[in-house]
Amino acid sequence: MLQRVVASGRDPKATKVVEVMTKPVISADPEMSLEEAGHLMLNNRIKKLPVLHPRMAARSWASSASRT
């Protein structure tokens, strides 16, 4: 987000998320296997994957980064 807003000279207070968000939004289904989610992340070169229920907002995030 920093690179897309601040480093590019945009005003963070005036910039809308839709102007800098990644499109299309890539997400996982709660019933997807970990292997499928991993392939989705690798194939799309993403580090975080929102897990969405079709009728609800984001419930959780899968991440390729280790947490300490």
Strand 48-51 and strand 60-63: the pairing is antiparallel
Count how many domains the chain has.
Answer: 1
Domain of 38, CATH number, reads 3.10.580.10
Whether 67 shows a pLDDT value over 50: the answer reads no
- In angstroms, the CA 44 to CA 22 distance is 11
Q: What is the pLDDT of residue 57?
A: 58
Q: What is the pLDDT of residue 65?
A: 58
In a domain, 46, yes or no: yes
Q: Which residue has the higher pLDDT, 62 or 52?
A: 52
Burial of 33-48, coded b for 16+ CB within 10 Å and e otherwise, reads: eeeebeebbeeeeeee
Whether 64 shows a pLDDT value over 60: the answer reads yes
Q: Which secondary-structure segment (H or E) carries 62?
A: strand 60-63
In a domain, 50, yes or no: yes
pTM of the model: 0.59
**Residue indicated by tokens 């969405």:** 52
- What is the tens place of the pLDDT at every residue in 8-22? 899 999 999 888 887
Whether 66 shows a pLDDT value over 50: the answer reads no
